[in-house]
Amino acid sequence: MEISVLAMVLLSLGALFLLGMPVFMSLAVASAVALIYGGYLPMSVIHNSIFDGLNIFPLLAIPCFVIAGTLMEYGNITNQIVNVVKQLVGRMHGGLGVTTILACTFFAAISGSGPGTVAAVGTILVPAMIRTGYSKDYAASVASSGGTIGLLIPPSNPMIIYAILGNVSVTAMFTAGFLPGFIVGFSMCMTAWLVARQKGFGRSEEIGPFCMGNFLRCCFKSFFSLITPVIILGSIYTGLATPVEASVLAIAWALFVGFVINRALTLSGVYKSLLEGSLICGAVLLIVGTSTLFGRILTFEEAPQRLAAMVLGISEDPFMVLMMIVGVLVILGMFMETLSTIIILVPVLMPMIHMLGIDPVHFGVVLVLTNQVALSTPPLGVNLFVASRIANVSVERIAVGVLPYLVALFACILLITYFPKISTILPEMFLGYVAR
């Protein structure tokens, strides 16, 4: 029996994943197998598609935001933000846990990276929690869960990738992420507080009683660090800069504050920041280029139309379709890196999303929000491994500790999926976006 080209490419991709081959290489080899097996497209499609996939200007924002976040970590900006947040909520039950969530939310508005947020904030607050009497499991699970907010709070690297692939405005996606990000952040804070009360973790004594004078002095000392998100995001929403230009502005601001104001940044820190940004950029570009080739083959084989027909045969209700997609994303997220999942699925799913009349901005928020689950679920939960290294506790113990936060996250996913207006109301108000 003759096997179709689509079946051959999917079988090849699945086999390569099971063999443990890197995602970009799996996509490239599966695409080459399809071209050879089908014989109806020239091999020049390979380099043309890869070049087209890389020749995308907004991709420059990703390494720049990563570099800016790392520079702010080495330049003591992250530490100053944490100190201000700690002054506000550090005295309540589970105060340092809530501080970690809020600091992650604040730092996410700078770096746009989930694991980067865990590393930057967790390095400061996880040891502080353990020293104050919190268990290692609690400290690591709070840091891991708080880092997931980095995917939703703008500027978000996954949102940039989705906007590029889905032909959606990057600014609209950034604006749409604020309200869902606030809801997720609030639910995470409540979960950290409830878990701390249940486990008997009390107030932090090392902070001392609240004093408005001390708080204002702390804010004044950290003024340049605190206005960082305002400068970066304000330049985008006022129209003074594109997201790419804002990412370069973030680097310039981080260098200014780190070298001139805080005098904590060194040339070694700059080198490490550039190295980290280059490594992340290289990994993303390899996957984006090969996924463009893979997507063209799937489009030629009418894979999106076949998938739409199969899904619509089950249900035509947009909410039910979105929930089926959420289920697939949760399963894939256990085995695939977040950006890889978005890059592979968006070209396949977008035609069906348009067919069902689902708003692409709302779908993007649901897609990115669901991928937050992947960061804290084994065996590939990146945040778990980062938190494990910081707290010196096994990934298995952290995976159990994050379960309450995953329950809260799933509740947020259901809420935001069922009420699209949560995602689209801010773009409608401030950008004149017309939701479907």
What per-residue string of b and e applies to 47-65 under the rule 16 or more CB within 10 Å gives b?
A: eebbeebeebeebbbbbbb
CA geometry: angle 109, 281, 110, nearest 5 deg: 10
What per-residue string of b and e applies to 25-41 under the rule 16 or more CB within 10 Å gives b?
A: ebbbbbbbbbbeebeeb
Hey, what amino acid is at 63? P
Together in a domain, 22 and 91: no
Q: Which domain holds residue 341?
A: 50-431
pTM score, whole prediction = 0.78
Q: CA end-to-end span of the chain, whole Å? A: 44
How would you class 398 by CB atoms within 10 Å of its CB: exposed for 0-12, middle for 13-18, buried for 19 or more? buried
Total domains in the fold of the chain: 2
Residue 436 lies in a domain: no
Which tokens belong to 360? 């692409």
Residue 54 lies in a domain: yes
Residue 80 lies in a domain: yes
Residue 389 lies in a domain: yes
45-54, 63-72, 143-152, 388-397: which range is least confident on average? 45-54
Together in a domain, 36 and 56: no
The answer to whether residue 336 scores a pLDDT higher than 50 is: yes
Together in a domain, 26 and 173: no
Together in a domain, 23 and 164: no
Residue 232 lies in a domain: yes
Together in a domain, 291 and 414: yes
Together in a domain, 332 and 363: yes
- pLDDT tens digits, 68-110: 877 887 888 877 877 777 777 666 666 778 888 887 877 766 6
The answer to whether residue 204 scores a pLDDT higher than 60 is: no
Together in a domain, 37 and 142: no
Tell me the percentage of the chain whose pLDDT exceeds 90: 10
Together in a domain, 29 and 159: no
- pLDDT for the residue 1: 39
Residue 421 lies in a domain: yes
Together in a domain, 119 and 29: no
Together in a domain, 2 and 141: no
Together in a domain, 426 and 302: yes
- pLDDT tens digits, 28-63: 888 888 888 777 667 777 777 777 767 777 777 777
The answer to whether residue 423 scores a pLDDT higher than 80 is: yes
Together in a domain, 170 and 62: yes
Supply the DSSP string of 190-222, one letter for each residue.
Answer: HHHHHHHHHHT----SSS-S--HHHHHHHHHHT
Average pLDDT, the chain: 80
Q: Is the dihedral of CA 192, 195, 198, 201 positive or negative?
A: negative
